[in-house]
Structure 1
Amino acid sequence: MRRKLSILFFIFILGSTSLASAADSHSWDGLKARLVADGFNKEYVDAVFSASSLEYSSAMMARKMRVLLKRRFEPPAKKVAREKEFDERYVGPIMLAGGYSYLREHYELLQRIDKRYGVAPSVLVALLLVETKLGFTLGDAPAFNNLANMAASSDPLKFYDELGYEKLEEKDMAWLKKRTKKKADWAYKELSALLTFSSRNSIVPTEIPGSPYGAFGICQFMPSTAIHYAVDGDGDGRIDLFGREDALFSMASFLKRHGWKNSLSKEKKLKVIYRYNHSMVYARTIYEVSRQLEKIRSTFGPD
């Protein structure tokens, strides 16, 4: 009954905000039919896709494929050069000062989380600093829009002119088609997860700000990650990843369930952090920021 009322609430809220133009609606028919076939309520899906902020564009998929094509054609030596030790932007004095200030201000909360999950305060602050500048950079467009546009752009011919290549060899075109379809299927899976997460937690899905590829909240969870690892840290009965307690508890939950222990070796810690974002540069950056914050804390407190 609660789920049924929740769906009706969203239909009312979304339907009363505004309707998309008839010119845009045809772009979403296939995606909407797929969601309904996968078990989503048709009225709910129609209401979500009626949001005036939703407008079809293949630009996001074109952006992703441009990056992947560039890497595909990159000389091996350049690929090696790109793999730096860690991102030095986050270990400068200004970033570390901001991280340390956050750690001091919320140390009691961070200690409670450490006691429950065994994840040191400096690690969570390092993640938050790198992911969203401690919650100050949350994305410019709704996560739903970005994921829906990518899910609806499985054919590279929709955006081929935006890639910057006059002509690709047959083998490269075959690769592009396969890679685009794979990325569109990934986006559809995340879109489905976003709708599920939103419904469970009484959130209007089209109003969630996110990254270009759909991560959201101050912890920048992908929707499928939120479904599996997010927790209600403040005990109010719903999960809000834009709220400090829910986000920090959820980050610690993710790390613990991937094997984190504060006593792990550096190598094993890096492997766990890598699961948060599949980049070794990222993992080493989190590790280094955490190490620097811990040095500052051990010198200036709190104890």
Structure 2
Amino acid sequence: MRKIFILFTSVLLTSISSLGMANYSEHPKAAKLIEQLTSSHGFSEAEVRNILSKAQTEQRILDSMANAAEKTKTWTAYRKSFLVPTRVNGGATFLQKYAGELAAAEQRYGVPRQVIAAIVGVETNYGGYTGKANVLNALATLAFEHPRRGKFFQSELLEFILLCREQGWAASERLGSYAGAMGISQFMPSNYRRLAVDGNGDGRIDLHNPVDAIHSVANYLVHHGWQAGAVVATRASVSRDFDASVIGKGLKPNYSVGELAQRGYFSQQSVQQDMRARVVRFNDEDGDEFWLGFDNFYSISRYNPRSKYAMAVYLLSEEILQAYAKKQLSRLRAVSIP
């Protein structure tokens, strides 16, 4: 019995050590990261090891990645979590509060203000919740412990360390999402370094500043192919013998509207027949729901590659615009009453 107890205690301590007390400066997978930062970016080995030694493994980070809403919720449940009056009205208020800044961003980038607001609304509830995860812990945990996406997060960890140096941040003190995204617009470190912009012209980029976040979201979408004035998505009707083989993985448009019509998919909105689109199908307790997603839909999906996410952003943007128009009309009526 004593031997069993000692063995159990040893296994338990080993597990605790591997999950909560890992020294990532000594992790075998850290060698490449250390080499990259020292040979290509001017860090000393001691500096990098010091940063990595402050990172702790957090099991809840791995659990959150495995149980992301886009993976676990049906489309009906996912949609209902965002298309609610508080989120819609919050978006209308966001449009009103930052009307000038959103108009400037729309003019500069060609991205409608309601789309910018919807992304910020889905990501952080208009800045109301930007995440409480320690970003260094999150990125280190995912970089060295995630079973499939370690390579991606090792790259983001490197970008985060570079970003901290550029911004003058203490790496162990930054907070964000469980995936390491930061700010009102929830940019990953690589996107923060390359696509975030100084929207208010104060000489610094701060994605916790709404104006910088607004311009950065627009710049991000343009970088990923946003086309000013183009349609995002349309509902589709289908014939009984629709060709299911065209619904493959991915959201990048792959057939023209005309070709999709020949395969049994018909846009419920008038669009040019040579426009390329992707069939998007949602299937849960509400039954089948078909859409055609165009290039701008794909641009939104570069924020999050799940069709549920991109569609929730699009539908929320439409409802925000309607709610904003109603607010403006109510204000005009109130002013006109003698």
Matching residue within 305, 309, 313 for 1:286: 313
Aligned to 2:175: 209
Per-residue CA deviations over 1:67-114 (Å, capped at 9, x if unaligned) read 59xx7xxxxxxx9x9344961222222221111111101111111111
1:217–1:241 Cα contact (<8 Å) kept: yes
Shift of 1:273: 0.8
* Contact 1:58-1:153 within 8 A present in 2 as well: no
Q: Between the two structures, name the one with larger relative contact order (CA 8 Å, sep ≥ 6).
A: 1
CA distance in 2, matches of 1:230, 1:136: 20
Matches within 5 A, 1:7-156: 24=21, 26-30=23-27, 32-40=30-38, 41=43, 42-51=45-54, 54-61=55-62, 64=65, 67=67, 82-84=74-76, 87-153=79-145
Could you tell me which amino acid in structure 1 is paired with residue 104 of structure 2?
R
Alignment partner, residue 263 of structure 1 = 229
Report the Cα distance in structure 2 between the residues aligned to 1:43 and 1:232, rounded to whole angstroms.
33
Point out the structure with max Rg over C-alpha.
2
2:309 is paired with a residue of what secondary structure?
A: helix
**Percent identity of paired positions between Structure 1 and Structure 2:** 27
Output one character per residue of 1:242-278: Cα deviation in whole Å (capped at 9) or x when no partner.
1112211110000111121341122322211111111
Higher normalized strand content (fraction of residues): 2
Aligned-residue Cα RMSD (Å) equals 2.7
CA contact (8 A) 1:198 1:205 kept: yes
Relative to the length of structure 2, the TM-score reads 0.65
Question: Matched residues in 2 for 1:123 and 1:285: separation?
Answer: 11
5+ residue gaps, structure 2? 1-19, 234-292, 333-338
User: Matches of residues 212-291 of structure 1 in structure 2 within 5 Å?
Assistant: 212-265=178-231, 266=233, 267-268=293-294, 269-291=296-318
Q: Per-residue CA shift, 1:160-191, capped at 9, x if unaligned?
A: xxxxxxxxxxxxxxxxxxxx1x3122211111
User: In the alignment, which of 150, 156, 171 is matched to residue 190 of structure 1?
Assistant: 156
- Return the alpha-carbon distance in structure 2 between the equivalents of residues 235 and 46 of structure 1: 36
TM-score (norm 1): 0.71
1:276 counterpart SS class: coil
Q: 1:290 to 1:219 in 2, by over 3 A?
A: same
CA change 1:100–1:59 in 2 (3 A) is closer
Conserved 8 A contact 1:210-1:216: yes
Query: Deviation at 1:128?
Result: 0.7
Aligned partners of 1:33 and 1:135: how far apart in 2?
A: 37
Say whether the 8 Å CA contact 1:130–1:286 is kept in structure 2: yes
How many residue pairs end up in the alignment?
A: 242
Question: Does the aligned pair in 2 maintain the 1:122–1:293 contact within 8 Å?
Answer: yes
Q: Which has the higher helix share?
A: 1
Of residues 218-227 and 121-130 in structure 1, the stretch that sits farther from structure 2 once superposed is 218-227
Contact map agreement 1:58 1:150 (CA 8 A) in 2:
no
User: What's the offset of the Cα at 1:46?
Assistant: 3.1
Matched residues in 2 for 1:59 and 1:292: separation?
34
**2:248 corresponds to which residue?**
none
Structure 1 residue runs without a partner (length 5+): 1-22, 72-78, 155-179
How far 1:299 moved relative to its partner? 3.5
CA deviation map 1:9-66 (0-9, x unaligned): xxxxxxxxxxxxxx94644313553322012412321332354xx32345533554x5
**Larger mean Cα displacement after TM superposition, 28-37 or 202-211:** 28-37
For 2:91, what is the secondary structure of its paired residue?
Answer: helix
